[in-house]
Amino acid sequence: MNKYGLTKTTKVVFGVTLRQIKALRDIETQGVSRGDLGGWIEGDRNLDQFGDAWVYGAAQVSGDAQVSGAARVSGDAWVYGDAQVSGAAQVSGDARVSGAARVSGAARVYGDARVSGAAQVYGDAWVYGAARVELRCLTVGGLDYSVTLSDTHLVVGCENHPLTVWKDAKKLAAICRKLGKPLWAEKVRLALALAGEV
C-alpha cells in the first residue's frame, strides 16, 4: 500500500508546481496518521513510497531530489536539484540541501544552514546556524570531535585551518601540542586520506 498520495492542492515556487501530500496510512515513527496533510513535493520521485520518510508542513522537495528511509524534512526546509536525504537524517528550519548533496545516517541540517554541490553530511554530524557546506565536503561524525574537510580547509573540533597547515607535519604537531590533543593528528591524517589529500 502506498504511503502517501498527491492532493489537488498546488503552489508554484520559482516556476515549479508543487503538490501537497496526504498520508494514506499511519507512519508511527514519524507521528503521522492516515489522512494527515504533509509538505510539498514536485512529483512521486521526490518521496519514497516505502520506508518511513516524510515531508512536513511548509517543507518542499523538488527537481530530482529524493527523500527516503526514515528521513524527515520539515519547517520551511527545501531539498532540490539532485540532492538526497536518507537514513534517519533530518532537514529542518530554513535549511537548504541542493545540487548533488547527500545527507544521511542520523545527520541533521537545520537553521539557515546550506548543504550543496557534491557535499556529504552523514553519521551523527550536525550542520546548523548559518553554516555553509558546499562543493566537495567530507564530514565525519561519531568521533569525540567532528571532522569536516572542504576543498580548501579542514575543521577538527573548533580548529579551522587551510589544508596546507594540516598537511605540514610540524604545524600539525604544534596545533596538537597547543590543544593537548595528540590523537588529533590521527584524525587529521584519516580525514586527509579519505579525501585523497595525502
pLDDT digits 0-9 by tens, 86-131: 999 999 999 999 988 999 999 999 999 989 888 889 888 888 887 7
Decide: 107 and 123 in contact? Cβ < 8 Å.
yes
Percent of the chain with pLDDT over 70: 86
Same-domain pairing of 57 and 104:
yes
Average pLDDT, stretch 70-79?
Answer: 97
* pLDDT at residue 173, as a whole number: 85
Higher pLDDT, 79 or 189: 79
Kindly calculate the radius of gyration of the chain based on its CA atoms and give it in whole angstroms: 19
Query: At 108, which amino acid appears?
Result: R
Phi, psi at 96, each rounded to 5°: -130, 135
Domain that holds residue 33: 4-134
Average pLDDT, the chain: 87
The CA distance from 130 to 3, in Å, is 33
pTM for the model: 0.70
Same-domain pairing of 189 and 105:
no
Query: At 116, which amino acid appears?
Result: S
* pLDDT at residue 185, as a whole number: 77
Same-domain pairing of 74 and 159:
no
* pLDDT at residue 26, as a whole number: 96
Cβ neighbors of 136 (< 8 A, separation 6 or more) are 117, 118, 119, 150, 151, 195
Within a domain: 31: yes
Same-domain pairing of 54 and 117:
yes
Angle at which helices 184-194 and 169-179 cross, to 10°:
140
* pLDDT at residue 128, as a whole number: 87
Average pLDDT, stretch 56-60?
Answer: 97
Give yes or no for residue 8 having a pLDDT over 90. Answer: yes
Expressed in angstroms, the distance from the first to the final Cα of the chain is 49
Give yes or no for residue 13 having a pLDDT over 60. Answer: yes
Give yes or no for residue 66 having a pLDDT over 80. Answer: yes
Same-domain pairing of 115 and 167:
no
pLDDT tens across 120-179, in order? Answer: 898 888 888 877 776 655 565 555 666 676 667 777 767 778 888 888 888 888 888 887
The CA distance from 33 to 27, in Å, is 6
Same-domain pairing of 22 and 109:
yes
